[in-house]
Amino acid sequence: AMAFVDMRMPPGWDGVETIQRLWQADARLQAVICTAYSDHPWDEVLDRLDVRDRLLVLKKPFDAIEVRQLAQALTAKWQMTRQADAQMSTLEEAVRERTLEITRTSEALRHSEERYRALVELSPDAILIEQEGRIVFANGAASRLFGADPPSALLGRALLTLVAPSDRADAAIAMADLAQGKEPRMIEEQALRLDGSAIDVAVTRLPFTHQGRPAIQVVARDISESKRLQVQLKHLATHD
């Protein structure tokens, strides 16, 4: 989790180079410089180490309680960061697998709309179909995600009205890419619920055929929990 490094360790590497070498081996290692003086100005030391949140300076003389508290705090921070990273990876993998599953299912059922409707109504993901600029289908999960009561409140709207203003340009580009035959891709954006509140979602837009005519299918999943963990991870990285 951490290393205490003296500034002066003759002969050979000084404390700064020792930390640089340690970070080459493990970029997540936290380092504490222990020193009563320095052979280099502190500005130079921090510039060489690229001022990171994993670097602290412990000035000599220090007592055992101070060192113990520092070690416990940094170790706890390291453990919580690893846990948050693991949770983030799990959530991101789940989103990728779900998107891939829905994409494959959509391809397999493209020519069977009755079966498709029965399947998507049971899907935990929000699924919308836009045709000629208007939403013509929304499953139950979409109604819940966007706060549509009754569900028919989504019908007739343009897809971009359900995207937060800050992300509409990127969403429009993704839809234009589909029209040009480019591969579908998952993007993260903020969806706009009917009550005006925003929610973080992972969205995949796919070319689709609805009643024999070209359309766009949208698959969206709530990733608010994933975003919350990102904020927590950022906080852990900058606070002991």
**Beta strands across the sheet bearing 213-222:** 134-138, 126-131, 213-222, 198-210, 186-192
Looking at the DSSP bridge assignments, the partners of residue 226 are none
Share of the chain residues as helix, strand and coil, in percent rounded to the nearest 5: 50, 25, 25
Instruction: Give the Å distances, CA to CA, from 172 to 22, 40, 163, 168, 231.
Output: 45, 53, 10, 6, 27
Instruction: For residue range 64-117, list pLDDT tens digits in order.
Output: 888 898 889 889 888 888 888 888 888 888 888 888 887 777 776 555 666 667
Tokens 């992972």 — which residue? Answer: 202
Predicted model pTM: 0.52
> Where does the chain show beta strands of DSSP type E?
2-6, 30-35, 55-59, 126-131, 134-138, 186-192, 198-210, 213-222
Instruction: For residue range 158-169, list pLDDT tens digits in order.
Output: 999 999 999 999
Instruction: For residue range 10-52, list pLDDT tens digits in order.
Output: 788 888 889 889 988 988 888 888 877 655 677 777 777 776 6
- Report d(CA 35, CA 26) in Å as an integer: 23
From 50-59, 131-140, 213-222, the region with the lowest mean pLDDT: 50-59
